[in-house]
């Protein structure tokens, strides 16, 4: 099939893999000082390479857990750093890397894999489906205020970057997770730290302390615009809150930061109630709605059994998975759970579409309406909408 070899990279090969990946996304290689930090984001044994005979492609992963509807957490692999050298593209290198990685995940008992796609047309053919989305919005800080009846309570603590990297992992772990959120292992926090320290302006962080301890945090940068140096944007890459008081308290602080014109809240949940918190919601404008995590169900039976389902008539769903054929089959989905069945399928779909349905971002009726699900029972899409529905919009909030 090919003349190249796929194998796990040694630790001393990680930097070459990093350089190759950064070149594929048109970013300069890390300096020695930068590599001291960014090299810590490589999980030992988590990177593979394609050799022909030198390194021509790479992909890596880290272990984490994904929260699924109902609150259970399943083993996941965060896939990142995927790239093929420009003179070796379209020769099967990427497919070989993805197939080898999925086979390894299946052997290790990983239930699902997550990634953020550089191009939307790439990963569907490997079984990854767009499973969470987000929005970025801007707030006119100079005029925006919270409503008088906004929740109050707790205190804000301002941290510098060094103290933030010590405290934020523990605060994040205390916050309840909605569907789509994931644990953040140390390698991911080290990646965030390396990225932040490369920026030309310092990161700041605030922690909200409620009656039971830390229950929210936000990180931010204040950047001047090149064309208008006295116009400042406050960029918020991370904001998590366990309670309404924490959410309001963090926003009350951000809106009070002086010498800032706009707040840019990046990649937030689609259902975040910021408009309801502001006295004048027209001082907020949406910048964009975008892709977030693409999910690949590595072990379909375990993934389906792990989540909860809504109250509706059971639906038999036939799944096809060419890359991991053990997943193929028909599953009976009911309020009591999911299991393999021999009954006739009411819906038929591939594993990519199942991933889009899995966390609840997309409705079965919508996917059927555009031809992504074959309908054999006209009543089944409406029942599946309820079965796979969630109380909150799925969202991760973790970039890698």
In a domain, 129, yes or no: no
The structure tokens listed for 157 are 């603590």
Domain end, chosen from 110, 125, 155, is at: 110
In a domain, 380, yes or no: yes
Q: Are residues 153 and 11 in the same domain?
A: no
Length of the chain counted residue by residue? 400
In a domain, 392, yes or no: no
Q: What is the CATH number of the domain that holds 198?
A: 3.40.630.30
Based on C-alpha coordinates, what's the Rg of the chain? 22
Percent of the chain past pLDDT 90, that is, above it, reads 94
Class of residue 206 by CB neighbours under 10 A (exposed 0-12, middle 13-18, buried 19+): buried
In a domain, 120, yes or no: no
- From 203, 224, 234, select the one nearest 140 (Cα to Cα): 234
pLDDT at 3: 79
In a domain, 122, yes or no: no
Q: Are residues 213 and 338 in the same domain?
A: no
In a domain, 300, yes or no: no
pLDDT exceeds 60 at position 173? yes
* 98: containing domain: 5-110
Mean pLDDT across the stretch 207-223? 96
With vertex at residue 176, the alpha carbon angle to CA 175 and CA 180, rounded to the nearest 5 degrees, is 115
Cross-strand pairs, 83 = 58
pLDDT at 2: 61
Q: Are residues 274 and 175 in the same domain?
A: yes
pLDDT at 283: 97
pLDDT at 226: 59
Domain end, chosen from 228, 258, 290, is at: 290
Q: Could you read off the pLDDT of 93-148 as tens digits, one per residue?
A: 999 999 999 999 999 999 999 999 999 999 999 999 999 999 999 999 999 999 99
pLDDT at 1: 45
DSSP codes, 295-340: EEESSHHHHHHHS---SS--EEEEEE-SSSGGG-EEEEEETTEEEE
Q: Are residues 141 and 253 in the same domain?
A: yes
pLDDT at 44: 96
β pairing state of 155-159 and 204-210: antiparallel
Q: Are residues 206 and 148 in the same domain?
A: yes
Domain end, chosen from 260, 290, 320, is at: 290
Q: Are residues 286 and 139 in the same domain?
A: yes
Sheet of strand 262-268, all strands in order from the earlier edge strand to the far edge:
155-159, 204-210, 213-224, 232-241, 262-268, 133-140, 284-291
Segment (H or E) for 17 = helix 14-24
**90-94, 132-136, 197-201, 204-208: lowest mean pLDDT where?**
197-201
Per-position b or e across 64-75, b if 16+ CB within 10 A of its CB:
bbbbbbeeebbb
Class of residue 112 by CB neighbours under 10 A (exposed 0-12, middle 13-18, buried 19+): buried
The structure tokens listed for 6 are 């796929």
Phi, psi of 43 (to 5 degrees): -75, 130
In a domain, 104, yes or no: yes
In a domain, 396, yes or no: no
**1-5, 83-87, 100-104, 150-154: lowest mean pLDDT where?**
1-5
pLDDT exceeds 90 at position 223? no
Q: Are residues 138 and 106 in the same domain?
A: no
**What is the three-class DSSP state of 18?**
helix
Q: Are residues 265 and 381 in the same domain?
A: no
Q: What is the DSSP letter of 217?
A: E
What does the alpha-carbon distance between residue 180 and residue 168 come to, in Å, rounded to a whole number?
Answer: 20
Mean pLDDT across the stretch 346-356? 98
pLDDT exceeds 70 at position 220? yes
pLDDT at 227: 55
Q: Are residues 89 and 188 in the same domain?
A: no
Q: Could you read off the pLDDT of 270-325 as tens digits, one per residue?
A: 999 999 999 999 999 999 999 999 999 999 999 999 999 999 999 999 999 999 99
Phi, psi of 338 (to 5 degrees): -140, 140
Q: Are residues 285 and 138 in the same domain?
A: yes
Q: Are residues 15 and 105 in the same domain?
A: yes
Q: Are residues 140 and 283 in the same domain?
A: yes
Domain count, the chain: 3
pLDDT at 200: 87
Q: What is the CATH number of the domain that holds 382?
A: 3.30.1050.10
pLDDT at 228: 61
């Amino acid at each position: 099939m090919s003349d190249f070899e796929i194998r796990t990279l040694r630790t001393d090969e990680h930097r070459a893999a990093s350089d190759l990946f950064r070149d594929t996304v048109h970013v300069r290689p890390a300096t020695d000082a930068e590599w001291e930090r960014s090299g810590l984001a490589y999980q030992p044994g988590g990177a593979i390479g394609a050799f022909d005979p030198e390194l021509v492609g790479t992909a890596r992963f880290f272990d984490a857990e994904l929260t699924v509807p109902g609150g259970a957490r399943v083993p996941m692999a965060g896939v990142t750093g995927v790239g093929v050298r420009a003179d070796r593209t379209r020769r099967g290198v990427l497919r070989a890397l993805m197939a080898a990685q999925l086979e390894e995940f299946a052997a290790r008992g990983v239930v699902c894999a997550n990634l953020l796609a550089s191009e939307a047309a790439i990963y569907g053919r490997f079984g990854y489906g767009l499973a969470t989305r987000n929005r970025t919005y801007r707030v006119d800080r100079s005029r925006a205020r919270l409503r008088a009846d906004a929740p109050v309570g707790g205190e804000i603590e301002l941290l510098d970057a060094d103290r933030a990297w010590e405290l934020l992992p523990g605060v994040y772990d205390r916050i309840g997770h909605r569907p789509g959120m994931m644990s953040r292992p140390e390698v991911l926090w080290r990646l965030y730290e390396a990225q932040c320290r490369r920026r030309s302006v310092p990161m700041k962080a605030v922690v909200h302390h409620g009656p039971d301890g830390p229950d929210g945090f936000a990180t931010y940068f204040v950047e001047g615009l090149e064309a208008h140096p006295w116009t400042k944007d406050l960029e918020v890459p991370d904001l998590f809150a366990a309670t309404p008081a924490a959410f309001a308290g963090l926003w009350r602080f951000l809106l009070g930061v002086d010498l800032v014109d706009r707040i840019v809240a990046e990649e937030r949940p689609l259902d975040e109630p910021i408009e309801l918190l502001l006295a004048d919601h027209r001082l907020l404008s949406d910048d964009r709605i975008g892709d977030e995590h693409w999910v690949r169900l590595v072990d379909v039976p375990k993934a389906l059994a792990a989540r909860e389902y809504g109250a509706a008539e059971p639906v038999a769903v036939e799944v096809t998975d060419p890359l991991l054929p053990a997943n193929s089959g028909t599953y009976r989905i009911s309020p009591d759970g999911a299991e393999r069945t021999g009954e006739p399928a009411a819906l038929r779909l591939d594993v990519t579409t199942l991933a889009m349905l899995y966390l609840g971002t997309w409705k079965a009726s919508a996917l059927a309406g555009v031809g992504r699900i074959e309908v054999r029972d006209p009543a089944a899409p409406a029942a599946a909408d309820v079965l796979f529905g969630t109380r909150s919009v799925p969202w991760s909030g973790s970039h890698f």
